[in-house]
Amino acid sequence: MIAEETMEVSLPLALTLPEGEEDWIGPANEQRSEDALYLELDGWEGPLDLLLDLARRQKVDLRQISILALVDQYLGYIDRAGALRLELAADYLVMAAWLAYLKSALLLPKEEQEEPSAEELALRLQWRLQRLGAMREAAARLMARDRIGRDVFLRGAPEGLRIDRKSLWHSSAFELIQAYGQVKARTAPRIYQVRDRMVMTLDSAIDRVSAMLGVTLEWMDLRDFLPPHAEPSLRKSVLASSFVAALELARLGRAEIAQEEIFGPMRLRRISR
């Protein structure tokens, strides 16, 4: 029965296609056996493609097709597929449902229709079929053009253009002199000078600390041993030397050192003999 249907509608398409593009003629144009429906559906690029093929069989300009007839044809096709228990892709069924809705809406009196109206939807569908048809025809015409490598050919063995980049070096006299100065500055022997700084020598610190320890037996803060009016730069040297002097005197058993806490004041007293 499918074969009958197919045979019945296997008429030349209204659209003329360029030669050598047989590909573009839908699968329904070929004779096929009853069980070929599934393969046919597989051959269409989706429900819109099937609709377009059916619409073209009405042999009128796509702008004048009967949407109702188209809907009936499509639904008939789907029914037959269902009767043959062939699996249909979901989008074909969605389209069938939508077309059934469209058909019922088209049959309703106009005043009972919702927005957008069934006529508008039908026009829209028609427009989409037209657009798909136009693109398909455009593709065929594009493929039939004089194509490079098939109809026209580029030069087989072009010599090729070669551009050799030649460096044009640039520098200036100033850069030259500057570079030379830098080399010289970098490689010149360097003389280091150490400035003479005021320091308290360890010997004088030992003399001073032991002299002051002789005055009393009480604990004294190390800072009290420092000379009162020393310059700031000298003070560090005096403090360091006095500390070393205190350690030295402790080592010799002439003084003892106590510190209550870390970083706390360091106290010093003479060991009485």
Beta strand 266-270 with 255-259: parallel, antiparallel or unpaired? antiparallel
Q: In terms of CB distance, is 164 or 218 closer to other proteins?
A: 164
Q: In terms of CB distance, is 97 or 211 closer to other proteins?
A: 97
Torsion sign (Cα): 69, 59, 96, 130? negative
181 binds other proteins (CB under 8 A): yes
48 binds other proteins (CB under 8 A): yes
249 binds other proteins (CB under 8 A): no
The whole-angstrom separation of Cα 77 and Cα 4 is 12
Q: From the CB of 20, what's the least distance to other proteins, in Å?
A: 9
Show contacts with other proteins in window 85-144 (CB under 8 A).
Answer: 91, 94-95, 98, 116, 121, 124-125, 127-128, 130-132, 134-143
Show contacts with other proteins in window 187-216 (CB under 8 A).
Answer: 187-188
Q: From the CB of 64, what's the least distance to other proteins, in Å?
A: 14
Helix axes 202-213, 232-251, angle to 10 degrees: 70
The whole-angstrom separation of Cα 248 and Cα 201 is 13
Task: Please choose, from the candidates 238, 250, 247, the residue with its C-alpha nearest in 3D space to the C-alpha of residue 208.
Answer: 238
CB atoms under 10 Å from CB of 200, counted, come to 21
C-alpha distance across the termini of the chain, in Å: 136
At 268, list the tokens.
């010093």
223 binds other proteins (CB under 8 A): no
Q: From the CB of 28, what's the least distance to other proteins, in Å?
A: 15
243 binds other proteins (CB under 8 A): no
The whole-angstrom separation of Cα 125 and Cα 123 is 5
218 binds other proteins (CB under 8 A): no
Q: In terms of CB distance, is 6 or 47 closer to other proteins?
A: 47
Q: Binding residue for other proteins (CB under 8 A) from 69, 180, 207, 227?
A: 180
Q: Binding residue for other proteins (CB under 8 A) from 164, 218, 260, 261?
A: 164
Q: How many CA atoms lie within 13 A of 157 on its CB side?
A: 0
Q: Binding residue for other proteins (CB under 8 A) from 16, 111, 112, 161?
A: 161
Q: Binding residue for other proteins (CB under 8 A) from 19, 107, 149, 232?
A: 149
Show contacts with other proteins in window 11-40 (CB under 8 A).
Answer: 23-24
61 binds other proteins (CB under 8 A): no
CA dihedral defined by 219, 223, 225, 227, rounded to 10 degrees? -160
Q: In terms of CB distance, is 167 or 272 closer to other proteins?
A: 167
Q: From the CB of 120, what's the least distance to other proteins, in Å?
A: 9
The answer to whether the CB of 212 falls within 8 A of the CB of 246 is: no
For 124-158, letters b (16+ CB in 10 Å) and e give: ebbeebbebbeebbeebeeeeeeeeeeeeeeeeee
Stretch that binds other proteins, among 67-75, 152-160, 230-238, 263-271 (CB under 8 A): 152-160
183 binds other proteins (CB under 8 A): yes
Q: What are phi and psi of 80, to 5 degrees?
A: -60, -40
